[in-house]
Structure 1
């Protein structure tokens, strides 16, 4: 799916700002708001890059991962390493599954960039809640696939980058966690 950059930038900025404003209305201002704003920048960067080139930049994932480790260290000082280990294990598992699917079918289903982003995102959401982010990203991807394929017309785009959906879902789950909204 090709998205003109002139439309993608304001659309992504609006989506992140709307999520931030709606959910943070019930959150305490302060460090959490700064963390959410800081997290949004590499997520938007990787989303725009993935939309244009079907590639998630390693630099963006590294920023997210380092920030996530720091976040876990300060929020859970006695068990941050457990979250780090779980995130690395999840990334390795998804990387392996994606590689096996590629070897078997010859088409990339889940790329290494997606696996790395999920691992880095788990450092912000926690291992237990990364599954909600994955679910939301899958729903978003399915909706986009259905909306982008004209019914009965051949030649519709067959590939949709998953990174932007993962990025926004990770962001929303993180916002839900820092807000005082009871969502489960």
Structure 2
């Protein structure tokens, strides 16, 4: 059964790569069409692009990939990370996302079994993984992912932990409010934007899934990790010094950790800081 789950997890990871690569392009084209319509201009004619078409292709020569080159992990390893036609390097993101999906799904199924709870946690974690990579690549957290994640968290608590629904609602409100407050404090102090509006919605979604009690730990983990990674990258890559850095990947990683670890991580955090019993 775990072997079957592993194959399905790799297939989900492969689909997640399609979402990561194409969703920002689809949204950009949608915004372009809307802008042209608002200005009463004729929108440009562009080839179809959605999650189903066109076929996966090389980013360099745009040659369609053979079906066997699309097999998760194996296709990448077989070609040693290069296009079969032009030998252009293919991003290591693709196997990394597939391996991350495999690890997430196997961990959740191992601890929760083949249950509806496991399925909902898998969907939440894979959505967070997609958001993390999209934000890292494009500085964008699409509403089409963050808002369903928010409502999904509330629905999950309603159907699985109805006694904790109030904590979930307060978590969503507090998550959005904390991010909104930090945004304005930073903007008033520096004149710059420290967070994007997508971060507001993502933190609200994490509050809905994890409850308000988990928000301090999520913020500590994401801020600490983000600071360390940011400092290291700026030291190693001078051109990144002073450049804006997405916060969504670190929020997503912290949220996934809480979802995978459960209440025990939150309890451990409060025990460490001397606030046990919250």
> Is structure 2 residue 137 aligned with structure 1 residue 52?
yes
Q: Which residue of 2 aligns with 1:108?
A: 193
SS of the aligned residue for 1:63 comes to helix
**CA distance 1:181–1:115, change in 2 (3 Å):** closer
Aligned partner (choices 116, 133, 145) of residue 230 of structure 2: 145
**CA distance 1:121–1:6, change in 2 (3 Å):** same
Q: Which residue of 2 aligns with 1:136?
A: 221
Please report how far the alpha carbon of residue 20 of structure 1 lies from its aligned counterpart in structure 2 after TM superposition: 4.7
Normalising by structure 2, we get a TM-score of 0.56
Unaligned stretches of 5+ in structure 2? 1-88, 269-278
Q: CA RMSD in A?
A: 2.9
> Is structure 2 residue 115 aligned with structure 1 residue 30?
yes
Point out the structure with max Rg over C-alpha.
2
Contact 1:19 1:172 in 2 (8 A): no
**CA distance in structure 2 between the aligned counterparts of 1:128 and 1:172, rounded to whole angstroms:** 15
**CA distance in structure 1 between the aligned counterparts of 2:105 and 2:210, rounded to whole angstroms:** 15
> Is structure 2 residue 159 aligned with structure 1 residue 62?
no
1:19-39 deviation line (CA, Å, top 9, x unaligned): 553565444442232122111
Normalising by structure 1, we get a TM-score of 0.80
**CA distance 1:41–1:78, change in 2 (3 Å):** same
Contact 1:36 1:171 in 2 (8 A): no
Aligned partner (choices 193, 199, 211) of residue 126 of structure 1: 211
Unaligned stretches of 5+ in structure 1? none
Contact 1:24 1:175 in 2 (8 A): no
Please report how far the alpha carbon of residue 91 of structure 1 lies from its aligned counterpart in structure 2 after TM superposition: 0.8
Q: Which residue of 2 aligns with 1:156?
A: 240
Contact 1:95 1:111 in 2 (8 A): no
Q: Which moved more, 1:18-27 or 1:102-111?
A: 18-27
Q: Which residue of 2 aligns with 1:93?
A: 178
SS of the aligned residue for 2:239 comes to coil
Q: Which has the higher contact order (CA 8 A, sep 6+)?
A: 1
Q: Which residue of 1 aligns with 2:99?
A: 14
Please report how far the alpha carbon of residue 17 of structure 1 lies from its aligned counterpart in structure 2 after TM superposition: 3.5
Contact 1:72 1:124 in 2 (8 A): yes
Aligned length: 179
Aligned partner (choices 138, 157, 162) of residue 77 of structure 1: 162
**CA distance in structure 1 between the aligned counterparts of 2:160 and 2:173, rounded to whole angstroms:** 19
